[in-house]
């Protein structure tokens, strides 16, 4: 453990030295500055979170589905203030599945554990099996994925290394792949956690009383094997705790947290932490519709022999912070000036990255090249997106769009099953400012294009071969309780509201995300491009 702590501390120091100066978010910072915090501690789509402790450091990961890089790694010293320090999965395999958007597939409900000076992450891919990666450097490179158990339908795995060195794995099942759910199974793995050496046994069946039992996390405490898991479904479910003297059960169970009289619906799956200061806490998610599944923190009381979460089994909206040595207020990265020669850690693609989509430049911007659009952006792999960070925020970007020919466009997008985009498109010697909106994109819906203004280029090439025209413009999206409004400026000072308000909608198992793309109608060989100088997230 000491070796892992030293490596982790060194890695985090490197991340801090190369990253942009981190200030508390202007749109959502849960630390109230008076020893208390306000839930959610992460108002962003970190679905199915799990957490582990390495000394005084805490590491969190979450589902990433088809988004790349996958398996985000967040770090905290107090379970309230978090920042992104890396990703454990740079690409998804096989390429024939994930080089194009495979919405809702990929990484489901990971667990993160520290064992023998090494961090392990297990996750279920419902179409391929249960996978694992490991590292001694949480902010650095992780191992190549190992398929621990091959097969379909297995989701939400979590390992447990017992005191005698044996390793067990619990997992749930996806009805969409195998035709049944609500059951949990346990099997034995090799001591190194790399392969199954035992057959699965059903240890719990939620039946009618605890239907949709899923998301189990495996622990040892006070001589018992414990499984903490949700049941009842994402929107209106509850938390279960179950215990047994054997990893294979039978398990007795209790409901230990539910909505009750609060307005916090369906407190769903997460992870338990026992801190070095002797306190117990539980991080779980709450479904917020278009904003995705955001992360809450609850105290846990074990004095009765069972975990009682939150306020006597109901989630707190506000509570005192955990005791810790940290006084640093920090939040996940949002804004980016693209000066670092690499993308900020908040950005993800909707499919495996291809360098033809875009690259950082030496000029303090990130360049996205136009790619032929099919029916809609739902099928576009070259979407550079980040999670929405708060219920109300404004994202403003300074960009230059360069077009080689008609039918090339680029801009700022709010992406989900429905999406809207504030785009500029070349038409002849001019640019059109457009709102491009698609409803039911996941069902093959077509884009509607509304022309908002005509704009003169700010620069024109004079070379004889394939000259481009260029437009410098500021694009803005303002979000307020799920409604997105658009504005633009030509000078960065005076903004003009344009277009129609847009109601945000979730993606497949993920919240709506915002960011950039550049597209074309596919008729042109020479690509245009979108240079993003900076994006700022604020009120």
The 10s digit of each residue's pLDDT in 130-156 is: 999 999 999 999 999 999 999 999 999
Work out the percent of the chain whose per-residue pLDDT is above 90.
93
Residue-level pLDDT at 373: 82
Beta strand pairing call for 513-520 and 371-372: parallel
Cα(184)–Cα(242) distance, integer angstroms: 12
Average pLDDT over residues 112-119: 97
Beta strand pairing call for 366-369 and 529-538: antiparallel
Nearest to 73 by CA among 155, 15, 10: 15
Quickly tell me which residue has 């100066």 as its tokens.
21
The 10s digit of each residue's pLDDT in 223-257 is: 999 999 999 999 999 999 999 999 999 999 999 99
Residue-level pLDDT at 27: 97
Residue-level pLDDT at 2: 55
How many other CB atoms are found less than 10 A from the CB of residue 446?
A: 11
Average pLDDT over residues 88-102: 97
Terminal CA-to-CA distance of the chain, rounded, Å?
Answer: 42
DSSP H helices, 74-200, are 95-98, 175-178
Structure tokens of 126? Answer: 């419902």
Average pLDDT over residues 187-197: 98
Residue-level pLDDT at 374: 80
Beta strand pairing call for 384-387 and 348-349: antiparallel
Residue-level pLDDT at 11: 52
Beta strand pairing call for 308-309 and 318-320: unpaired
Work out the percent of the chain whose per-residue pLDDT is above 70.
96
Please tell me the least confidently modeled range out of 202-211, 226-235, 325-334, 455-464: 325-334
Give the active site residues. Answer: 48, 214
Cα(506)–Cα(383) distance, integer angstroms: 16
- The CATH code of the domain at 348-538 is 2.60.120.200
pLDDT at 18 over 60: no
Residue-level pLDDT at 139: 97
Cα(139)–Cα(59) distance, integer angstroms: 10
CA pseudo-torsion sign 75, 77, 79, 83: negative
Range 2-15+34-320 has CATH code 2.115.10.20: yes
Domain boundaries, the chain: 2-15+34-320, 348-538
The DSSP secondary structure of 260-285, one letter per residue, reads TTSS------EEEEE-TTS-EEEEEE
pLDDT at 172 over 70: yes
pTM attached to this predicted model: 0.95
Nearest to 380 by CA among 513, 199, 493: 513
């Amino acid at each position: 453990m000491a070796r892992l702590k030293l490596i982790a501390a060194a890695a985090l120091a490197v991340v801090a030295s190369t990253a942009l100066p981190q200030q508390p978010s202007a749109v959502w910072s849960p630390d109230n500055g008076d020893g208390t915090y306000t839930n959610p501690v992460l108002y962003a789509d970190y679905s199915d979170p799990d957490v582990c402790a390495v000394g005084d450091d805490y590491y969190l990961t979450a589902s990433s589905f088809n988004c790349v890089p996958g398996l985000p790694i967040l770090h905290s010293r107090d379970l309230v203030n978090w920042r992104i320090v890396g990703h454990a999965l740079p690409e998804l395999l096989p390429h024939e599945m994930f080089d194009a958007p495979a919405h809702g597939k990929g990484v489901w409900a990971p667990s993160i554990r520290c064992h023998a000076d090494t961090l392990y992450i297990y996750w279920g891919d419902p179409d391929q099996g249960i996978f694992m990666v490991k590292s001694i450097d949480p902010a650095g490179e992780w191992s190549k994925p190992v398929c621990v158990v091959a097969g379909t339908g297995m989701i939400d795995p979590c390992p447990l290394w017992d005191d005698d060195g044996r390793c067990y794995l619990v997992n749930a099942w996806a009805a969409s792949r195998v035709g049944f759910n609500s059951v949990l199974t346990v099997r034995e793995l090799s001591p190194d956690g790399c392969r199954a050496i035992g057959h699965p046994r059903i240890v719990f069946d939620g039946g009618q009383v605890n239907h949709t039992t899923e998301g189990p996390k495996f622990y040892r405490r006070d001589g018992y094997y414990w499984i903490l898991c949700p049941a009842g479904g994402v929107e209106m479910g509850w938390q279960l705790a179950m215990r047994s003297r054997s990893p294979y059960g039978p398990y007795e169970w209790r409901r230990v947290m539910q909505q009750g009289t609060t307005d916090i619906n369906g407190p769903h799956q997460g992870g338990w932490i026992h801190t070095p200061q002797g306190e117990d806490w539980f991080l779980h998610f709450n479904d917020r519709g278009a904003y995705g599944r955001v992360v809450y923190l609850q105290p846990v009381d074990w004095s009765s022999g069972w975990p009682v979460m939150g306020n006597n089994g109901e989630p707190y909206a506000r509570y005192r912070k955990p005791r810790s040595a940290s006084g640093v207020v920090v939040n996940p990265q949002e804004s980016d000036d693209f000066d670092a020669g690499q993308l900020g850690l908040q950005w993800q693609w909707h499919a495996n990255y291809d360098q033809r989509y875009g690259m950082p430049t030496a000029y303090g911007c990130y360049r996205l090249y136009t790619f032929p659009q099919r029916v809609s952006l739902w099928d576009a792999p070259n979407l550079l997106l980040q999670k929405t960070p708060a219920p109300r925020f404004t994202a403003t970007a300074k960009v230059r769009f360069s077009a080689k020919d008609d039918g090339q466009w680029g801009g700022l997008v709010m992406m989900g099953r429905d999406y809207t985009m504030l785009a500029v498109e070349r038409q002849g010697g001019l640019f059109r400012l457009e709102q491009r909106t698609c409803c039911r994109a996941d069902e093959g819906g077509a884009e509607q294009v509304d022309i908002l203004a005509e704009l003169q280029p700010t620069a024109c090439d004079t070379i004889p071969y394939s000259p481009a025209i260029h437009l410098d413009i500021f694009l803005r999206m303002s979000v307020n309780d799920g409604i997105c409004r658009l504005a633009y400026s030509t000078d960065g000072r005076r903004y003009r509201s344009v277009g129609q308000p847009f109601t945000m909608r979730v993606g497949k198992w993920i919240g709506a995300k915002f960011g950039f793309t550049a597209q074309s109608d596919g008729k042109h060989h020479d690509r245009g491009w979108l240079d993003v100088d900076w994006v700022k997230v604020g009120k």
